[in-house]
Every structure is written in C-alpha cells, then in structure tokens.
Structure 1
C-alpha cells in the first residue's frame, strides 16, 4: 500500500480533429512525447497516466464527458502531497460572458473532439476540490489558454517582446475555433434557432455540459477566489492570443504544438529541477527565438510559482 503523498497521476489529452475542417497535426505527438518525459524524468508510473487521443485506434475518445471523467477520477484519488498533472493539446476558444468578474466579457474554454466545451469554471471547480498539500498542474497548449483556471492569480502575463518573422519552412495553424464556428456546428445538430451556446450544449450533452452553462451567473460569480490554492496553470499563450500547431514541410518532419515543443526543449536542455516560473520564462524565450507570436503565461499562488515543476513538495 502506497503511503500518503507518494502518488503522481496524469491525464494527457491530444485532439487532432482528423478529417474535419478544424484538423490539427501535432497534438497527439505532443502528449505522447510528454508521456515519455513523465515516466523517464519525473518518475510517473505508466499505469498512473491516462492517455486520451482522437487517433483512429484510440480506446477512449477525448469527448468532454470522458475528459472530465478522467480529471474527476484523478482529483478524487488525490491525497495531500500528491502530484496531479493535466496536459492538453488541441483547440481552444473564447465564449461571450456576462459575468461581473470578467471585465472583457469572455470565458476561456478547451474544445474536446465532440465540441462539448470545458470552461475555466470547470477547471476552477476541479482545483477547489484538490486536497490541501497536493498540486494540480495544468499545461494547456491551446489558443486563448491564459486564464483557463478561473480566478487564478497571474504570475507571468502579457509580454512586450517583439515577435520575429516566423519561418516559412513549416505550415502553421492556430489552435483556435471561433465562437461562430462552434455555434454553427452545435446548432446544426440541435436545430434550435438561438445564438445562446449554452442552450445547444445543454440540449446535446445534458449533465455532461460545462458548469458554466448549467449554473446561474450569481452562483458562478460566488465561486471562491482562492489565490493560495494548489492549482498551477502553464498556458501556451495569453488569453487574447493563439497557440501554433506546426506541420513541417520537409520529409520526415514531425508535427508538434509550438508550446509543448518549447517545454520539451527546456526540459532537455536543463537536466536539473526547474521552477514553474523558470519553465514558462524559458519556454517564452525559446518561442521568441523561433519567431512565434505567442507568449506562455503562468497562473498560480506565489509559493507555487517558485516551486519545482512536477515535483512533490
């Protein structure tokens, strides 16, 4: 029997949306590469890593319900001292919001393969359930991922770095699906004539839809603002930016997400332990040198900003 605080648990999700207008190419590669790093460098047991991809031979497709089921199970199993990790590579989006706590009237969300959006409210709810003393690190290589844990404290945010010209040897596709495209996709399935995305999601997915659409706004606004919680978000970009999916032209080139790849480079070049702040700062520098116009961000408590990436406290 394992002692309290000895577990390292992970959920890795890669969505390529193959054979759709929203197809990406590097997302599954991203989480496969991270799985190897978790095992080889950070001591995760293979049996403690759940992998969800939309590959044709996948046993569990990364639908909204299945992703939340895996995350809920991971949080439910957690004990003080455990390390929880969620890596998402795929599309992200922003949806209109009337909530008072959002001055820009936008909520951030990831886009599972069935378009059952998982929002910043859902991630806040998960983080609030993490046992005190465990850590829940989220790395989201998706567009508009800054702020993906609702109300989390910003440690590294907007940057004034000037972008370099991006290399033309790769095909770059932003990992974003517009609100209008998502609304059109959902309304074509419900045949309901409304621009309220929540109506469509609740009709299609019922209780599996995001809390963002099933709870009244005054309840959403009252979800605790906890700066000293144990949630840690490494986002691929700022909330108003897109993250890049790279598909190299050259023969044998391997597709990848720009942020996931930058983190891989940082970890390969620095064999010693790195803090969460160091990982994000170094990944920013890698992307800047490569010419990308996205700026990774860090959201966490002050203590966790300086704690070691994926290490037990």
Structure 2
C-alpha cells in the first residue's frame, strides 16, 4: 500500500512568564517556525500542534511535561511509513547526574517544560525507538545542553568533529536558556519537603507515572537501554553542545522581537537558501551564522550517516516502503 507521506509537527515554546527563569523569544520562535513549515515545507496547519505558556492558554495546550509527551506519543503512534515528523522545542534545558553505569559524561540532558516535569534524553530515545520503519523524526531543540538529547544517537557534527572558532564578543542582550540542576532541585525540595538530592525522588512524588521514564526504570533496565543501537530515523539538530548554553536574544530596547539565537539562525539559513538543504548543511550554515553574529554556541547534528546528508524535512524515497 502506498504511503500517505503525512507531515506532522509538535511545536513547543516556553517563556516561563512571571518567574525568575523568564525568557522572551521562545514563543516567537515556534510561531515563526509554524509559518515556515506551512509555506515552505507543505505542512497542513491542521497537522501542527502548538503548545505555549502564553498567558491565557488552556491547560490542555500548556507545555507541561505530560502534555508534551502525550502530543509526541500521539504523533508517533499514528505515524506510517513515509511520514515526516517534526518536533521543535524552544525553552530551558538542563543537565542531571547520570545513573547509568559507565556513562562517559556523568550527566544526561533534559528539557524543562513549564511545570519542570523534565523530559530526558532517555524519553526521546524511547520515542525514536517506536518510529515505524520508513518514518522519520526530526527534533530541533533550541535549549541549553541540547547536544545529545536523543540518547546514544550518532554524532555527526559536535565537539569531537569540529574545533571551536574564535568567537567575537556578543553585542545583543541575551539570556542563557538554562536552569542549573541545583536550582531545579531547590524548586522541587520546596514543594515536596523531602530532604534528598535525588531529583528522581522529587519528580516521582510530584508527577507519579507522568515523570520521565529515566526516573521510573530500575538501574538494571537503564543498563539494558545502554546497549549499542543500529542506525535509526531519529535526527537531532541541537542549539549547542551538551556543555554549552543557548541564547535567548532580547533586542526589545531597539524595538525588535525577541528570539532564540539558534531558531532564528535556522530560519535565516532557510530563507537565504530556497533550494533543498541537507541536515548537515543546515547545521553548518547555522553555526557559521551564529559565529558571524558573535554568539558563543555551537549547534550540533546527531543522526545516522544517511540522514546527515538527507534533505532537511524531506522524506527520502526508500524502495522498502
């Protein structure tokens, strides 16, 4: 049976309004990307889910951990061979201590939904593992520590494949899109009144079965998930390396709109290059653009060798479909 080749997206923008972690450009990022998906990549607006913490948003459309995971799971559960799936996240990221035996970096990456119910690299790995054969999932994460956000995905462009450039000083006002682990731990401790530095204990107390699988699985099961994988159809374009921060630019003083540096760079690259670009080309050009702007972050690409050279958001033909 011929594939339907549906194009489906979940777009999440978290500005954390009226909190000490407030950002300004994240909702603008996903609104701009929604227009880009419709006009350039032929996404049907009905197939684009938008979750933001804009004041007045309904509880069902708030970017909580449970809502984000539900929308992603639904997108993947309904996917068929030939479908192009896209997840764009703009908001805070963080790093948490790793419980995996022999984990080389001692930290794992996570995004921070508006309710702080962390979604970890393990959650994204599990989503990619559920993809039907012939479907692809592209994740663009404009957040701090986003390199490696799909657990064990192969690095194509990252800290070990490209040397750092000499960055010039940053001229625009910006805020790092990161919430330190200690701040998250303090936030949870004040809510649970549990005296422990184990963040999983707090998350399970507050969110129960809606907490990340990373905190629900036993150590033995986590070790099983740490086995080598075959190439898959997960594609991650990260705003920075795992040890870096991503910038939230706020040029409001000059009358401009706030934006995420990486989201904006990708959109500028796409506008300046109307032809098809590979995933590798999008990341390299975005890196170069951020360097020209004097922004000290290095976007990365994680995916299979084949998908590194595949066209960004364009399903390649496969004779097995």
- Aligning the two structures, in what range does the TM-score lie when normalised by the shorter sequence? over 0.9
* Structure 1: gaps of 5 or more residues: none
1:164 aligns with 2:167: yes
How many Å apart are 1:227 and its aligned residue? Answer: 4.0
- 2:35 is the alignment partner of 1:31: no
**Alignment partners' CA distance in 2, 1:251 and 1:46:** 32
- What is the deviation of 1:181? 0.2
1:266 to partner: Cα distance = 0.4
Deviation at 1:161, TM superposition (A): 2.9
Q: Which runs of no fewer than 5 residues in structure 2 stay unpaired?
A: 317-321
Counterpart in 2 of 1:291? 294
CA drift of 1:249 comes to 4.0
TM-score, with length taken from structure 1: 0.97
Q: 1:85 corresponds to which residue?
A: 86
Equivalent residue, structure 1, for 2:13: 14
Question: Residue by residue, what CA displacement relative to the aligned partner does 1:200-257 show, whole Å, maximum 9, x if unpaired?
Answer: 0000000000001000122112125324110000000000000000000434210000
Deviations 1:21-73 (A, max 9, x none): 00000000000000000000000000000000000122310000000000000
d(CA) in 1 for partners of 2:217 and 2:224? 11
Q: Following superposition of structure 1 onto structure 2, how do residues 187-206 of structure 1 map, counting pairs within 5 Å? A: 187-206=189-208
- The alignment partner of 1:250 has SS state of helix
Partner of 1:304: 307
Provide runs of 4+ in structure 1 moved above 2 Å. 2-5, 159-168, 224-227, 249-252
The residue aligned with 1:264 is 267
Q: TM-score scaled to structure 2, two decimals?
A: 0.94
Cα RMSD between the aligned structures? Answer: 1.3
Structure 1 residue 171 displacement after superposition: 1.4
1-side partners of 2:70 and 2:230: how far apart? 26
Distance 2:90 2:129 in 1: 23
- The answer on 1:69 being equivalent to 2:84 is no
Residue in 2 aligned with 1:47?
46
Does residue 253 of the first structure (1) align with residue 252 of the second (2)?
Answer: no
1:5 CA drift (Å): 3.7
Distance 1:281 1:101 in 2: 31
Counterpart in the other structure of 1:232: 235
Q: In the alignment, does 2:105 pair up with 1:104?
A: yes
Name the counterpart of 2:209.
207
Equivalent position SS for 1:203: helix
What do residues 128-175 of structure 1 show as CA deviations (whole Å, max 9, x unaligned)? Answer: 00011100000000000000000000000114233433343x211000
